[in-house]
């Protein structure tokens, strides 16, 4: 059995960023029938991640680092990815 898209992204993000916090939310049901939605779901995600690796990086650079790690998913099943990236626990 192959991993779900969410499971694959989780493994990749854990390997790349050693996050202190990582939450992947599948929002696909909110976009059912809308452009880019797939019948099997797993097309729209929100990711909340806190990682020390983001320290010193601009917002754009943080997002780009995540885009790079998830390039395969973004070019494939993932139509929309909302990112909330923090460098440490303090808001």
Of the pair 11, 59, the CB lying nearest other proteins is at 59
Task: Give the x-and-dash track for 53-72 against other proteins (CB under 8 A).
Answer: ------xx--xx--x---x-
Count of residues interacting with other proteins (CB under 8 A): 14
- Binds other proteins by CB under 8 A, chosen from 52, 81, 87, 90: 81
Integer Cα distance of 77 and 2 in angstroms: 14
Quick one: 78 exposed, middle or buried, by C-beta within 10 A (0-12, 13-18, 19+)?
buried
The pair of structure tokens assigned to 20 is 């202190």
Of the pair 1, 58, the CB lying nearest other proteins is at 58
35 in contact with other proteins (CB under 8 A):
yes
Beta bridge partners of 80: 44
């Amino acid at each position: 059995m192959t991993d779900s898209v969410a499971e694959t992204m989780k493994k990749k993000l854990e390997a790349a960023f050693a996050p202190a916090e990582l939450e992947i939310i599948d929002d696909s049901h909110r976009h059912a029938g809308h452009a880019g939605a797939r019948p099997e779901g797993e097309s729209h995600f929100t990711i909340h991640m806190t990682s020390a690796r983001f320290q010193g990086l601009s917002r754009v650079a943080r997002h780009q680092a995540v885009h790079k790690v998830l390039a395969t998913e973004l070019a494939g099943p993932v139509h929309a990815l909302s990112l909330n990236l923090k460098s440490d626990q303090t808001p």
